[in-house]
Structure 1
Amino acid sequence: MIRYNAPRNLKLKSFNWELIILLWLVFFFNQADRQVFNVILPQIKISLQLTDAELGMIASVFIWAIGLCVPLSGYIGDVFSKKKVIIFSLLLWSVATFFTGFSAGLIHLVILRGIVGSSESFYAPAANALIGDTYKDKTGFAMAIHQTALYAGIIMSGLIGALIAERFGWSVAFYIFGGIGIVLSIVLVVRFKKDILPDTDSLVIKKKVTVFDGLKGLFQKKTAVLLTMAFACMIFVNVGYLTWAPTFLHEKYKLSLANAGFSSMFYHHVFAFLGVLAGGRFSDYLAKTNIGSRLKLQAFGLLLGSPFIYLLGSANELIWVYTGMGLFGFFRGIYDSNIYASLFLVTAPGVRASVSGAMIMFAFLIGAFAPWILGTIKPTLGLSSGLSALSVVYLLGSIFIFIALRFTLAKEIHVDAEAK
């Protein structure tokens, strides 16, 4: 068994704000560089003369690249310095994003978005394991703060990316977002020092980790498998929504590219921002007396979010569409606040990055089909029906977590999780 032992001379601050702020900035551009492509899809479609199915395929290739590479990235996050993995990941995806602006056709976009996706896959396992190791009994709150970067990155890319594309062309949006990420990677090299980031990799006495330990650690625990299935449902809905919601508002309600990009992301992610902070704080409090409370919040987040997904696709007035987007976002935030904190309840510290990577792999490989499926049915059934149908997938995800709560969690909680 892998034990966590903190040296006596290590003095961790009550809350390491500088670390979480730096990770927040990295995660911001992790998500912004993803979403800027989705926001300016209509302009890319016209400029490069691509079909809806081809655009959906590009988005799917991006997600498949993450899913296929993340087991390796999780393993690397366990055996190498998490600080260096994070910096390498940021630099590589930022360079690829910059050069995406030079794309001249389908093949170029497929290759470059594939590079962006594969390099971004190295960030989440290392970052989430680092947060789990560093913040201990404040894991839920720390991860909730970190998660808000996802929402902020998507909102700002929706607004700024669309404005840049409308005024200067879609290529310039990639140049700017990629360029800022390159600069940020240099900042991390300077600031990721032991005075603000204790070398938590040295605090864990490990057995030798192999590339297969993530899969082994995942499938040994039924709870982890069920959480992965629920996560896959969330990712399927999320990827489908992020890819096609801007186009949905642009085409159905005749909003400008900038307005559609901003509105489709703003209402959803502002409320998700509130939900994730509330969920993180509340789950840390409840977990002191009921360790299963993290999973309960996740299950109800998916269950209560489901009807609002249906509403945003089926409503015929923008006020109700935005209401659906907002409340879908709030309950999505409740779920998001404990994605990794729940997984770590049944995962040993020394393989958390690897097991996280395995979970992300399966979720993203499944979720990657959503953009392609919605793009394929768009000419016949329309995006309204496609988006509404995603509510069923959310409902299915909540069922998986309720099963874990009822039948598996109590038997599989890791000894270090019980000690918290």
Structure 2
Amino acid sequence: MQKNTFNAKEQEEKRKLFPYKWELIVILWVAYFLNQGDRQIFNVVIPLIKADLMLDDVQIGLVATLFTLVYGILVPVAGFAGDLFRRKWIIFFSLLIFSIGTLFTGFASGIVLLIVLRSITTGGGEAFYYPAATSLIGQFHKKTRAMAMSIHQTSLYVGIVASGFIAGYIGENFGWQMAFLSFGLVGILWAFVVLWRVKDTPMPKDELNENGEKPSFIEIVKAVFSRKTVYFLSLAFGCMCFVNVGYLTWMPTYLHEKFNMSLSAAGLHSTLYHFLFAFFGVMLGARISDRLALKRRRIRMEIEIIGLLLGAPFIYWMGIADSKLWCYVAMGLFGVFRGIYDSNLFAALFDVIEPRYRSSSMGIMLAFAFIVGALAPVILGKIKTVANMETGIMFLAGFYLLGAVLIFIGLKFFFNKNYYEENLITQNS
């Protein structure tokens, strides 16, 4: 009787015009947009905050550094939590907490409150979103996994570009406080949409251990660190994150100084072409990998290699471009291959990790990437002082090449041993 009920529910879900697994992507897309938007608005309104609260560059830098540090420390904890607790509730409380932190940042009157509300509350809340959300997407999307994750990833691109423009407009016309109040209020409201619409989905059988229980913390740690492929994927992700953080930090200044652009124009152009074309790249990479994954199990990591290997020349080109036009072209093509890499960032990881350990493995990858990426602004700043920023931008290309080599090593020597044969014929595939 129970089996017949399950089959009836399965058939009913398939007949829906808009199945739940895609509704979930829409809900989480907005949540991730707010996650990235809350992170970006601070960068946009820094001049207004400095002038109003009479802070210097070191104090502002401290707020940003502590945000990254708190995120990096807590994201592996968030990953383990995603494998041990209900992911709907982790997503809900993450969105609620970082939105409350963003809202009350608008009331900050000094450096201490900025650190408490921005660095600790917002940074800590954001850390718990991505591992749980991506793990949940992986549960509901198996044959469409790369496509679903890529659609979710596009909210990062849209969030960085759109929130920067929106926050800048609100800040210039209504004050920097209103930018935080607006994003925070929308986030709180969306948290309750998550509470209402996201199903409190229990872990399926393949996410439980041999005893039919949730895995213990020790079991999770042993399982994740026994997969050598994870090491190389994490190292490559660190290389990519180093480039990404360095690019986002210094490209506006690079355009401003090299081509005498205004700060507002440099801020827009430094992200617009890159993320616009990354959108197409991520969808292309997802489409290809999902179509071939059943026939070629290595395809996801191979596409990551292609993205890093072919993206490197265009990073180098940005550094040697002698006109704005060619620099924009290089940014766009760099974005295409960045998107191709992004399309299988965690889908490739899931090929070597069982479902019950996936949230934890993502937390470990994210923590490593943030630690490595946090070094980029300082290193490029040093290169700028001893040489120039053109040299710093070209220097970033080497990290994309190194990332491609690292993934190739993992694929060549460890992937076949670590590959997890997943049953793709399921209710939610």
> TM-score, with normalisation over the residues of structure 1?
0.89
Partner of 1:79: 84
In the alignment, structure 2 segments of 5+ residues that lack a partner are none
Q: CA deviation at 1:316?
A: 3.5
TM-fit CA distance, 1:49: 5.4
Summarize the Cα distance change of 1:83–1:418 in structure 2 as closer, same or farther, 3 Å threshold.
Answer: closer
> Structure 1, unaligned stretches of length 5 or more?
1-5
Please state whether the residue corresponding to 2:217 is helix, strand or coil: coil
Alignment of 1:340 with 2:339, yes or no, is no
> Residues of 2 paired with 1:389 and 1:91: CA distance?
39
Going from structure 1 to structure 2, the CA distance change for 1:317 and 1:48 (only over 3 Å counts) comes to: farther
Query: Given that residues 29 and 155 in structure 2 are in contact (C-alpha distance below 8 angstroms), is that contact kept between their aligned partners in structure 1?
Result: yes
The aligned amino acid for 1:11 is E
Structure 1, residues 66-118: CA drift from partner, whole Å, max 9, x if none?
Answer: 22101211111112111111111011111112222334444443332233222
Structure 1 letter corresponding to 2:229: T
The one-character-per-residue Cα deviations of 1:247-270 (angstroms, maximum 9, x if unpaired) are 433454443443332222211111
Residues of 1 paired with 2:264 and 2:394: CA distance? 23
Alignment partner, residue 92 of structure 1: 97
Residue number in structure 2 paired with 1:138: 144
State the one-letter code of the partner of 2:372.
I
**Contact between 1:53 and 1:375, CA under 8 Å: does it hold in 2?**
no
Say whether 1:66 aligns with 2:71.
Answer: yes
Indicate the structure whose relative CO is greater, using CA pairs within 8 Å and at least 6 residues apart. Answer: 1
Corresponding letter in the other structure for 1:61? L
Aligned equivalent of 2:122: 116
**Secondary structure at 2:296 match in 1:** coil
Identify the match of residue 351 of structure 1 among 353, 357, 367.
357
- Against the structure 1 CA distance between its residues 70 and 29, is the aligned structure 2 distance closer, same or farther, given a 3 Å change threshold? same
Question: Quick check: 1:294 aligned with 2:303?
Answer: no
| Aligned pair partner of 1:101 in 89, 106, 121 | 106
Partner of 1:326: 332
1:347 aligned counterpart, secondary structure: coil
User: Residues of 1 paired with 2:423 and 2:396: CA distance?
Assistant: 34
1:27 paired with 2:32, answer: yes
Are the equivalent residues in 2 in contact too, given 1:94–1:182 (CA < 8 A)? yes
Query: Within 5 A, what are the aligned runs for 1:4-403?
Result: 8=7, 10-11=9-10, 13-14=13-14, 15=19, 16-48=21-53, 55-111=60-116, 112-193=118-199, 199-203=201-205, 204-206=207-209, 207-375=213-381, 378=384, 381-403=387-409
* Aligned-partner Cα distance in 2 for 1:399–1:283: 20
Return 20-29 or 365-374, whichever deviates more. Answer: 365-374
Residues 84 and 418 (structure 1), Cα distance of their counterparts in 2 relative to 1, 3 Å cut: closer
Q: Aligned partners of 2:257, 2:57: CA distance in 1, in Å? A: 13
Change (3 A) 1:212 1:285: same
CA–CA distance in structure 1, aligned partners of residues 113 and 257 of structure 2: 26
What is the CA–CA distance in structure 2 between the aligned matches of 1:169 and 1:380, rounded to whole Å?
38
Deviation of the 1:339 alpha carbon: 0.9
Deviation, 1:307, is 1.8
Amino acid at match of 2:29: W
Describe the SS at the equivalent of 1:329. Answer: helix
Deviation by residue 1:111-134 (Cα, 9 ceiling, x = unmatched): 322332221111111111101111
Measure the CA separation in 2 of the matches of 1:303 and 1:148.
Answer: 21
Q: Is the 8 A contact 1:75 1:209 kept in 2?
A: no
Q: Tell me the TM-score normalized by structure 2.
A: 0.88
- Kindly report the root-mean-square deviation, in angstroms, between the aligned alpha carbons of the 2 structures: 2.5
Matched AA of 1:307: P
**Residues 56 and 375 in structure 1, CA contact (< 8 A), matched pair in contact too:** no
Q: How far apart are 1:9 and its partner, in Å?
A: 5.6
What is the percent sequence identity of the aligned residues? Answer: 45
Cα separation, partners in 2 of 1:65 and 1:412, compared to 1, 3 Å: same
Q: Is the 8 A contact 1:82 1:126 kept in 2?
A: yes
Paired residues in the alignment total 411
Q: What SS is found at the alignment partner of 1:136?
A: coil
- Aligned counterpart, 1:3: none
1:173-207 C-alpha deviation (Å, 9 max, x unpaired): 2222222111111222222246xxxx252444334
Distance in 2 of aligned mates of 1:98 and 1:317: 41
CA-to-partner distance for each residue in 1:340-363, whole Å, 9 max, x for gaps? Answer: 111011101111111111121112
